[in-house]
Structure 1
Amino acid sequence: MQTYVQIGLTATGMPMDVYREALVGFYNLQQRGLVSAQRQVLTIIDFSRSSRLKRLWVVDVKQRRVLFHTLVAHGKNTGEEFASAFSNQNGSEMSSLGFYVTGNTYSGKHGLSLKLNGLDPGYNTNAGTRAVVVHGAEYVCEEFVRQHGRLGRSQGCPALPMQQSSAIIQAIKGHTVVYAHAPRGVRYQSELQQLDPALVAFAQSAGLAED
């Protein structure tokens, strides 16, 4: 995982296996033509980490650099400090796991927001009907953590700090990949974790294979 070292992810606390899973899914989605060729950006949420910690990364895969590393909320019924329960069901107020491709932005009750298209059947494909979107929220901040011992929680959306949300949304909108990693002990399986097609896509992007 040469890019893991080059990007400097070790110092940010991201486990190598989480990055590997996210990257395999990214290249599988690229192979399927679902990822923007102009904006090769990968957002990773590590739900195995405490909500007190920065557990969202936005990585420019092509430029090999971290664009953002910040806090992100989980759903009210997903857990207190730690995320432990996940759902794809309407009304669950839980976070969902797996791979998404970002859609269009819109202005909603939380200001600038970003639609998400869930791609893992049984895990996140109801994101649209559940209105699970990326948005900013006042309860996603260090001050809330200091007062309550944990981050504030959403209705299932990956909510971001208000001062960073617009910049992050602009960076990841329009067919980029978002991966929400499951904590240990929580079942998650995905066709997007198949290694062979991901390696083909990686080789093509690196100019190591013919299209």
Structure 2
Amino acid sequence: MILPSRSPVAAASLLGALVFLASPVRAADTLGEALARLAPSADPKVIGMAVDAAECAQTQDGKPVDRLAVIDYSRPSSQPRLWVFDIARRKLLFQELVAHGKNSGDATATRFSNAPDSLASSIGLFRTSDTYMGKNGYSLRMTGLEQGVNDQALARAIVIHGASYVNEAMARVAGRIGRSWGCPAVRMAIAHKLIDALKGGQMVFSYYPDKRWLASSPYLKCSASQLARAEARVATDPGT
């Protein structure tokens, strides 16, 4: 289970989530199923993998998460492929277009890299950190958690920021939106609110059906014993 933060507001939200899950119709829902239902245009398998990866990460660092962003790079950039969820309240906050790197592909991303100056996007699980004002305006730093896959994200300045080339009009006319230098850029109109929703240690899961990554990612292969330890920690911690 993804651990929510321990503030009073989050605790109340968690209680609401538990009441939601206790209803007869939804009692058997997993978190992944609940989130997938909030975003019917998303692939439920990808949402489920994102939840599994975030849960696994928490068994290792114990840091709670309130928000989870999911990017599905298997979809063309002309379609919404970024979803941001409020986990505690079981709400979909954003469903958005998002850019991929110039060297990842044209309308659809097919190539990914962890290398500096590659101008390509990275896949895998990230944890967000702080915000700053840079050449692309208000931006959000991310730490890549997967060695050899995205762990150069900070060094590469792979951040979430707004960009004028991410817009629906361009998607309709050109069949794709503009491309970044590897950053998951979003529409200017929602960039500030989206970044504020994700700053401060939240999770971002970037998906592509890369066979090597799917087979080797430690966050997609979390052991049952790791998850059991996490659940036991929640059950015995009165502050959760």
Counterpart of 2:92, as a letter, is: V
Q: TM-score, normalised by structure 2?
A: 0.79
Residue 129 of structure 2 corresponds to residue 100 of structure 1 = no
Letter aligned with residue 89 of structure 2: Q
- Cα deviation for residue 24 of structure 1 reads 1.1
Where relative contact order (Cα < 8 A, 6+ residues apart) is larger, the structure is: 1
| SS of structure 2 residue aligned to 1:77 | helix
Give the superposition deviation at 1:122.
1.0
Max Rg structure: 2
- The one-letter amino acid of 1:187's match is R
Q: Describe how 1:12-23 pairs up with structure 2 within 5 A.
A: 12-23=40-51
Cα RMSD between the aligned structures?
Answer: 1.9
- Which of 56, 61, 65 is residue 33 of structure 1 equivalent to? 61
Residue 88 (structure 2) pairs with residue 62 (structure 1):
yes
- Which of 184, 187, 191 aligns to 2:218? It is 191
Counterpart CA distance in 2 for 1:159 and 1:105 is 14
CA distance in 1, matches of 2:36, 2:156: 35
Which of the pair is proportionally richer in helix? 2
Q: For residues 64 and 42 of structure 1, do their structure 2 counterparts lie closer, same or farther at Cα, with a shift above 3 Å needed?
A: same
For structure 2, which runs of at least 5 residues remain unmatched after alignment? 1-28
Cα distance in 2 for partners of 1:118, 1:128 equals 7
**Residues 34 and 101, structure 1, Cα contact 8 Å, conserved in 2:** no
Corresponding residue for 2:113?
A: 87
Could you say what secondary structure the match of 2:219 adopts? helix
CA separation of 1:28/1:153 partners in 2, compared to 1, >3 Å: closer, same or farther?
Answer: same
Cα displacement (A) at 1:12: 3.1
Paired position in structure 1 for 2:165: 139
TM-superposed deviation, 1:143: 1.1
Task: Tell me the TM-score normalised to structure 1 length.
Answer: 0.89
Question: What code does the residue aligned with 2:218 have?
Answer: E
Matched residue SS, 1:191: coil
